[in-house]
Amino acid sequence: MNFRGRWVLVTGASSGLGLEMARVLAREHGANILAVARREDRLLALRDELAPKYGVQVVPLIADLSQPGEPQRLFEAAVAGRDVYGVILNAGVTFFGHALEQSPEDFQKMLATNVSSLVELSRLFTGHLSARGTPGGIMLVSSMAGLSPLPYQTAYAATKAFVISYGRGLAFELRKTGVSVTVFAPGGIATEMLELSGLSRGFKAGDLGIMAADTCARLAVDAFARRRELYVPGALNRFLALAMKVLPQGFMIARSAGVYEGSLKPRP
């Protein structure tokens, strides 16, 4: 894919991996950015950073993808007067803790953000992309958590398993249209989510297996540009992904749980 001078939409662009991917796309590929998130002030700061520095256009689009109707509204705003060439569906939320302690409201928000809005936006944008003379692509950001059940991030891992399965199936269905689908499945990333979820009690930037967000973003954009179907960044992560396939699943679940248990809040 050639992003230069073309519009690329990035959800979850106000922080973490989404923010860094927007920077990589503008700085290294000359892409125009449709930056999507809930926090307008951060999107305006991103526009003011990227537009004058790299000579690209940056349009902030405020959206809360946990809310009904937002995917349709976002799509209409994104394509109004524009040919969108690339779509990166990166927005996501997690819950770290005992699965049965997650409130129904939090679970529904997670399901809407991580799954339902992703499916709806994929449906809307693939139609737009396939109608273009130079078909672009979609990247769905999953996680290594989707490769195996993950205690204490149980529901989150299940949503990311859906993203992997859905994305790979969609990639096959679209293979004759010229529209590519890339599933990006990183391991741990040093982002705001690490702090907000409570995972930072046991993991931090610089730890083995925790990748810097800017490094991860560069690998993600490269995989997208190369139209990779499924990409796990980092040699250690790829080794772990292979281990999840060949070792007994019960063993891997227990090992993962052991790593996470040290980061749990004490139960009352």
Which tokens sit at 202?
A: 């046991």
Q: Which residues are catalytic?
A: 156
Q: What are phi and psi of 182, to 5 degrees?
A: -110, 130
First to last CA, the chain: 52
Q: What strands lie across the sheet with 180-184, from one edge to the other?
A: 58-62, 32-37, 7-11, 84-89, 137-141, 180-184, 230-231
Angle, alpha carbons 237-108-106 (nearest 5°): 75
Burial of 207 per CB tally in 10 Å (0-12, 13-18, 19+): exposed
Distance CA 65, CA 11 (A): 9
